[in-house]
């Protein structure tokens, strides 16, 4: 199954990306770029902000096509609670079945040779090589439901040939802790830290910003976080930066507070390294970026998201990071300086090497760069 557009023959890779925020999109960018370097035509399927962000980063590449994939809108209460999310689980299960039908049709219509899915559990088709990437092998649920949740994830994962975890192997240096230790697939590979910011790590960064706040998460929590960060920065005359996470929003300056809505990867990576104090969510993709750059931060879990709460506690206990609630953030009760230390990692190289090997095995006639 070959794509002969753009004057060359190339196999087709479908990359499906979960669209709950931009975290899954950001960590799949190195995967997409690696596949392009090795001669594949990449079909990127997601929706909403995630799809727009990926279009803004690789939309000029002639060997990339973009597609809207069916998705599910998860709703959060203003202060968030687990029951609000749990009540939507039946709709999520039905959505996985819808994904299966959509993927089967897409593979047939576009001649797909392989599938790489970031947390889209229904995006696998029999006899088409497929990888599921996820760090959430054990969904953080009340203990009485852990077995059921693990069994459901394992059942969905079996549709894929292998499961890749964007983390180091389980142990004291693991970034995801118990989230990624459950046995849900016989072919589980820990591919190391994956971050699109890794190429821009500075050897000796010079302080430029006193405070940097990286806004992320679904509404209404994204807006609540941005408002709290602006209030925190308002009484500080030193240069402060808000990274607002809205593609296409441009840049603005209000006194000593600068807002970047959609900075380049290089600008974002440098800002995080050139900050005295960074505040961000404890979402796993944000933490992968911190690890890739070796940056300390004050973590703020999104209310109602048990995974972020668990990761915040893990990084506080394991790496000494400060972790505060959104209520504390809104009240301005923020530590003066970040604390902690991360293990030294070399991001992307292991994952890109594994991807190259898998792509070659999936289609030995791959056009090489």
Task: DSSP for 132-156, please give it.
Answer: EE-S-SS----GGGHHHHHHHHHHH
Residues 2-194+348-362: name the CATH superfamily: Glycogen Phosphorylase B; (3.40.50.2000)
E strand or H helix at 267, and its extent?
A: helix 265-273
Angle at 152 between CA 149 and CA 153, to 5 degrees: 85
- The answer to whether the beta carbons of residues 259 and 253 sit under 8 Å apart is yes
Angstrom CA distances, 356 to 31, 38, 186, 367, stand at 10, 7, 21, 12
pLDDT at 136: 83
pLDDT at 93: 63
Provide the whole-model pTM: 0.88
pLDDT at 81: 45
pLDDT at 41: 97
Average pLDDT per block of 10 residues along the chain, 369 residues long: 51 93 89 97 94 92 95 55 50 76 96 96 96 84 66 87 96 93 92 97 96 88 94 94 80 95 93 98 96 98 89 97 97 95 95 96 70
Please report, for the chain, the start and end positions of each structural domain, with discontinuous segments joined by +. Answer: 2-194+348-362, 198-330
pLDDT at 6: 41
Q: How many CB atoms lie within 10 A of CB 240?
A: 25
pLDDT at 144: 66
pLDDT at 183: 87
pLDDT at 4: 41
Phi-psi region of 33 (alpha: psi -120 to 50; beta: other; left: phi over 0): alpha
pLDDT at 306: 85
Packing angle between helix 23-37 and helix 48-58, nearest 10 degrees?
40
pLDDT at 248: 66
Strand intervals (E) in the chain: 2-3, 10-17, 41-46, 64-68, 114-118, 130-133, 162-165, 188-190, 209-214, 240-243, 251-254, 257-260, 275-280, 298-299
Structure tokens at 186: 């016989």
Please identify, in words, the CATH class of the domain defined by 198-330: alpha beta
pLDDT at 74: 53
Q: In whole angstroms, what is the distance from residue 300 CA to residue 37 CA?
A: 36
pLDDT at 114: 98
pLDDT at 218: 75
Q: Which residue has the tokens 């090489």?
A: 368
pLDDT at 250: 82
């Amino acid at each position: 199954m070959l794509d002969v557009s753009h004057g060359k023959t190339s196999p087709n890779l479908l990359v499906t990306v979960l669209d709950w925020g931009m975290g899954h999109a950001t960590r799949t960018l190195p995967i997409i770029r690696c596949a392009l370097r090795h001669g594949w035509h990449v079909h990127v399927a997601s929706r909403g902000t995630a799809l727009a962000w990926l279009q803004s980063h690789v939309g000029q590449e002639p060997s990339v096509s973009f597609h809207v994939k069916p998705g599910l809108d998860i709703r959060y209460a203003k202060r968030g609670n687990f029951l609000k999310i749990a009540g939507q689980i039946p709709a999520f299960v039905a959505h996985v079945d819808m994904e299966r039908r959509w993927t089967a049709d897409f593979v047939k219509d576009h001649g797909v040779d392989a599938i790489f899915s970031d947390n889209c559990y229904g995006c696998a088709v029999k006899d088409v090589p497929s990888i599921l990437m996820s760090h959430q092998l054990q969904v953080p649920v009340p203990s009485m439901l852990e077995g059921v949740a693990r069994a459901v994830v394992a059942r969905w994962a079996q549709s894929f040939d292998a499961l890749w975890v964007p983390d180091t192997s389980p142990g004291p240096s693991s970034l995801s802790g118990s989230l990624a230790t459950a046995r849900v697939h016989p072919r589980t590979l820990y591919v190391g830290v994956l971050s699109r910011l890794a190429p821009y790590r500075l050897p000796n960064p010079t302080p430029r910003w006193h405070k940097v706040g990286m806004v992320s998460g679904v509404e209404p929590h994204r807006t609540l976080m941005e408002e709290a960060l602006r209030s925190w920065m308002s009484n500080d005359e030193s240069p402060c930066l808000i990274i607002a996470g809205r593609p296409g929003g441009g840049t603005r300056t209000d006194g000593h507070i600068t807002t970047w809505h959609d900075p380049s990867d290089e600008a974002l990576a440098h800002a995080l390294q050139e900050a005295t104090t960074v505040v961000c969510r404890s979402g796993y993709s944000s933490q992968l970026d911190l690890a890739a750059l070796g940056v300390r931060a004050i973590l703020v879990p999104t209310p109602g998201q048990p995974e972020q709460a668990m990761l915040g506690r893990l990084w506080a206990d394991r790496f000494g990071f400060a972790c505060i609630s959104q209520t504390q953030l809104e009240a301005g009760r923020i530590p003066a300086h970040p604390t902690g230390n991360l293990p030294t990692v070399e991001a992307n190289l292991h994952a890109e090497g594994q991807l190259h090997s898998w792509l070659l095995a999936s289609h030995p006639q791959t056009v090489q760069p």
